[in-house]
Amino acid sequence: MSKKHFLLLSMAALLFTSCCTLVNGTKAKLTVKSDDVTTPVTLTYDGKTETNIFLPYEIKIKRGSKPTVVTAEAKGYEKASVSVKKKFNAMAIGNIIFGGIPGIAVDAGTGAWMKPETKEITIPFKPVSNIEIQEPAIQSSENTNERVSRDNAGETSLERTIIRWYLDSAPRGSRIFWRVISSVPDEVKNTNELYLGTTPYEETRSFNILGLTYANSRDIQIEIKMRRPGYMEQTKRFNVRQAIDQQEISSFFDLVKE
């Protein structure tokens, strides 16, 4: 056998013996989803942490036989984890046929002969209990069944409830406007639009909604509008009771060009 033929055969053998590794690589794609969380999320997996992301989101996890634990954290929710198990990658059979022991050794060393059992996971977020996130003043000084009228405003602690506001958009620099929409106008007035700021916007501030109580908060919404020249206006509404329970209003606006 000539030296040239020997080199060609050696290169072919190397390609066959690392078939699975070359095709699949040492990491696999995994989509992380949530049923209802729209706030920024922090993900931790395989010793890596990614912050301020929005679900669904695609990550790359290690192959190999060990499960990967994906842990997610979001404001107003308990920390949640999902264990992603691995299974045998059928493509590794080609290595057994063509590469034999050397091929198996290559894929075993890189972990390429295993892959996740699923291509996507859903994080089982659970809201933090009201007792943990509500301010003491809300619990102690206010009857949850209390009703007021617009003529008796300024008497409840919820009018001054402080929550976190976090709003962002793509592209950034969009102008933010908000207003109160009330289905009980005898107790809480509707308001005109107020300018809040530009994205990214993050602040801890109060509602300052006169006449607001825990009893009527389900009937009140905060409307957020995002505006930027050259892009279509976007509007989202947030239930005030849910915002009080979660202690925040948070969302991301992906603007569309006109």
For residue 94, the model assigns a pLDDT of: 52
Q: How far is CA 121 from CA 56, 105, 133, in A?
A: 10, 30, 28
Instruction: Summarize pLDDT for 51-91 with one digit per residue, the tens.
Output: 888 889 999 998 878 899 999 999 888 899 999 998 876 65
Say if CB 68 and CB 83 are below 8 A apart. Answer: yes
Sequence-ordered list of residues with C-beta below 8 angstroms from that of 242, at least 6 positions apart, any chain: none
Quick: pLDDT tens for 176-234: 999 999 999 988 899 999 999 999 999 888 878 888 888 888 999 999 999 999 999 99
The answer to whether residue 119 scores a pLDDT higher than 60 is yes
- DSSP string over 24-80: H-SEEEEEEE-SS--S-EEEEETTEEEEEE-SSEEEEEE-SSSPEEEEEEETTB--E
More confident of the two residues 23 and 226: 226
| Mean pLDDT (whole number) for 99-106 | 48
Q: Which of 242, 254, 252, 253 is nearest to 77 (CA)?
A: 242
pTM: 0.44
Q: Is the pLDDT of residue 167 over 90?
A: yes
Q: Which two tokens stand for residue 223?
A: 């409307």
